[in-house]
Structure 1
Amino acid sequence: MALGKSFNLKLAQECADAFSAACGVGCVVTDAQGTVYYEQGYGCASCQLCHAAGHRPEDCVQSQLYGMAESTRFGGKYVYFCPMGLTCFVSPVLEDEEATAKLTVGPFLMVDRQDYIACDLEGQMGLCGQPLLNVAALLDRIPYIPAEKVTGMSNLLFMAVGFLNKVSSANRMLEVQGSAAIQGQITAYIQQVKNDTAVPPYPLETERAMLRAVRQMNKGEAQRQLNELLGYLFFSSGGELGRIKTQIYELLVLISRAAIDAGANPEVILSDNHQYRMDINGLQDFDALCLWFTKTMGALMDGVFDWAGARHANMIHQTVQYLNTHYAEKITLEQMAQRVYLSPSYFSRVFKEEMGESFTAYLNRIRIDRSKVLLRQKGIRLTDIAQLVGFEDQSYFTKVFKKQEGVPPLRYREAHAAGTKERAGAKQQVKP
């Protein structure tokens, strides 16, 4: 897809120049299909990491297209990770409500360079030898951005790109969570309820579905269920503002608890709850209440939904680093979740989604890999090896080892010893 007729490439270039100079990261202007029209700094167009690692160029393009699609879906900004595990964020340029171009910032690191090499390149991608050296040599050009700054930078890009967009298009993107939209949905629900002969009971199932959607980070479903709840509250209260305020505050407290379960910062959420109580008391009419609630819910849900990817990356890196250095200790899922400030259920789900296996399976795999090194050494008892790698029970160690390697630990040791003898004999035969 070519750039739209009304797209101002010169203005987009100036925007990329200013953003790159201010933030110290690369910024690329492309069309909707990824064709590069301009690059300032070291951006995706210049990055050679995928090539050095032996990845296909199409993988990088696909991740960019995915980032753009998600940025359009989530209101104009999105943080994502490239095939090399580096961070980027993107904002779309709109024309007639359709994304025809985009500005992409990155790649950059959100973790220490050595941790990235050890965890991502060696651990996750299995790079070694010359490919690893080639990629590592290129990392000097990749900037490091702390995770806490990424949200602010992506907001800044969103506002800069908003200047490029038509005002009407930008407004349409923001109207999705706007007061008028919510009021319209509430009114439609009220009209539907009025057709019944009696006021229905409080929709507890709708409330549960809304809270479940918040915990599952399903933003669209959470908003839809919330609008139905608001419609019921406004209808059943008979227009009594004080009663509506009380019920809305109670709803906010419930949503806050679900947000904490979904990974939001508990201290921030609980502090916000106190401010909600103060703010809501000062509202004097229905319109002001809707406008305030719209802004409040937008901020609250942003804390859960918008930058989950960045939070997940930081949490995963912390977990992997800790497990690789503390695998011999007693580590439970609950303890690890507490270390990264998440609820156990949320931590467990995110870890499995990001790593492709459960927390326990990942930890056991690390322990078994370490035990194989010890099994190749003579004189270390099986019981001692089990304890040295973190298994309190030898029989459980044997069971996990056999499941992962296909043979029991002693059989593995015997096979390794036999192979060592064969290699030693072969070397003796080739001596002159």
Structure 2
Amino acid sequence: MERHTGREKACLFDFNVARETVESFSAACGVSCAVLNREGEVLFKTSVGSEGCSACRAIMASHGLPFRCGKLHLYGAAQAERFGGRYIYFCPSGLAYFASPVMVGGQAAGALVGGPALIMDVEDYLAGEPKAWQGLAAEEVSSLCTALESSPAMEPARLSHMSALLFAASVYVGDNSAALLAHREETAQQQDIGVYIQQLKLERAERDYPLAKERELVHAITEGDQSTARRLLNELLGHILFSTGGDFRLIRARALELMVVLSRAAVDGGSDQNMIFDMNFRHLNEIDHLRTAEDLVLWLTRVTERFVSSVFCLVDVKHKDVIYKAIEYLKRNCQGKVTLEETAGYVGLSSSYFSKVFKEEMGETFNSYLSELRISKSKAMLLTTNASIAEICDRCGFDDQSYFTKVFKKYTGVTPGRFRERRGRLETEKERSAWPDGGEHNQRKKGRSSL
């Protein structure tokens, strides 16, 4: 690791916190990371995965070429501050870096810089012939290839994710980088809404509330689609501002109505019902303190993002738990008149959403699974008890014996009596062809022998 003593004393942020943060980032991501002061000087740097950078410096030095890495990273940090907290850039040799400013008191007090990283194969990299490598001797190219192969290689998408993580780290080190990003997002949203309002004016649009667009927004929230939800919300907000003429009371009323609709969408999307109700209670307390249309716009944006996040973050984890509970419930109650609505209520989901989740996770519909479960139970009773077929029919949740026989044959290819007689042994092709129906049993291709 590389460390410059003395200068960290002049830091406007906690140098020890910054050092520990970049050490953790570097160890977790496998990429070198550095702490810079506001002049671009390196205060501390890890050496993980920096072989490519070292090779670059060595070769340029051997050729007497200047390298201005300090100015390069200072530029990257300045661009990161300009563009909302994160910026990916490339050195003259084509290696990728990413920077985030450390903000203190509204000013950039330094920066965190990650890299270098190679976002292409070494062969492709060299084929691009970076200016710094033109005219290199064969042994120098070989040395460079060895160093580059030891450098962290990644897809652009992974580089972007690392940039986002480094920005989060800079927020932790500084005091208000989050405000920088929030300001950028607010400005972008205001521009989007302004453009949409201007479009409505030019088109002389109707001032009636766009229910169709609201339904689209509800669907986006149900699906946990953050980007689509944000776009549709901006358009709805633009229409509300346009149609109300900026009347705060009307905007407030529309915002409250929309909050209720969107909260129900989050529940239908799989969010925990009690959690959403608690969020609504807090949101109602927040709106009482808002005094301008701009405040209402920002408030409703945050509310919507919370609803979408609750769907996005919980749905994958929740599904497995929900299905496990549902199956256990069905196994305990399949002998009765159990319904999809009852089971959905037991696991805490709306019936429509539960039906969708069940089919996605189990690969079959709720009714199909329930029928299969009942048939499985009846097969076990036919083989292990002396109960009559009528009794088994009743204890496995079937109201009518003829219907039970029909369903049983659909899943097994034989009647309940024949199944018991053969002790569950499957019939051969020759035996099936001897049956009056020519062996055309509706054999279920996808079934479970036990549940």
- What range is the shorter-chain TM-score in? 0.5 to 0.7
Q: Would you say 1:416 and 2:423 are equivalent positions?
A: yes
Matched ranges for 1:106-125 at <5 A = none
Counterpart for residue 217 of structure 2: 210
Q: 1:325 to 1:378 in 2, by over 3 A?
A: closer
Question: Structure 2 residue aligned with 1:323, among 324, 330, 340?
Answer: 330
Q: CA deviation at 1:340?
A: 1.0
Counterpart for residue 289 of structure 2: 282
How many pairs were matched up?
289
Higher RCO, Cα 8 Å, sep 6+:
1
* Structure 1 residues 110-149: Cα deviation after superposition (integer angstroms, max 9, x where no partner): xxxxxxxxxxxxxxxxxxxxxxxxxxxxxxxxxxxxxxxx
Contact 1:175 1:181 in 2 (8 A): no
Q: CA deviation at 1:245?
A: 1.6
Contact 1:183 1:290 in 2 (8 A): no
2:414 counterpart SS class: coil
Contact 1:237 1:243 in 2 (8 A): yes
* Structure 1 residues 11-50: Cα deviation after superposition (integer angstroms, max 9, x where no partner): 7873698xxxxxxxxxx7579xxxxx99xxxxxxxxxxxx
Q: 1:200 to 1:242 in 2, by over 3 A?
A: closer
1:303 counterpart SS class: helix
Structure 1, gaps ≥5 residues long? 1-9, 18-27, 32-36, 39-92, 104-157, 421-432
Counterpart for residue 163 of structure 1: 169
Q: Would you say 1:361 and 2:368 are equivalent positions?
A: yes
Q: CA deviation at 1:277?
A: 2.9
Larger Rg: 2
Question: Structure 1 residue aligned with 2:157, among 95, 98, 101?
Answer: 98
Identity fraction in percent: 35
Contact 1:12 1:29 in 2 (8 A): no
Structure 2, gaps ≥5 residues long? 1-19, 32-47, 50-113, 120-155, 428-451
Q: 1:175 to 1:364 in 2, by over 3 A?
A: farther
Distance, in Å, in 1 between the alignment partners of 2:409 and 2:370 is 16
Superposed CA RMSD: 4.0
Counterpart for residue 279 of structure 2: 272
Q: 1:165 to 1:399 in 2, by over 3 A?
A: farther
TM-score between both structures, scaled by the size of structure 2? 0.55
Q: CA deviation at 1:161?
A: 8.4
Runs of at least 4 residues off by over 4 Å: 10-13, 28-31, 93-97, 158-161, 164-167, 170-177, 417-420
Matched ranges for 1:71-90 at <5 A = none
Matched ranges for 1:31-430 at <5 A = 98-100=157-159, 162-163=168-169, 178-197=185-204, 199-377=206-384, 379-416=386-423
TM-score between both structures, scaled by the size of structure 1? 0.57
* Structure 1 residues 42-97: Cα deviation after superposition (integer angstroms, max 9, x where no partner): xxxxxxxxxxxxxxxxxxxxxxxxxxxxxxxxxxxxxxxxxxxxxxxxxxx99897
Contact 1:177 1:294 in 2 (8 A): no
Distance, in Å, in 1 between the alignment partners of 2:413 and 2:330 is 24
1:307 counterpart SS class: helix
Contact 1:29 1:102 in 2 (8 A): no
Distance, in Å, in 2 between the alignment partners of 1:161 and 1:329 is 56
Q: 1:203 to 1:385 in 2, by over 3 A?
A: same
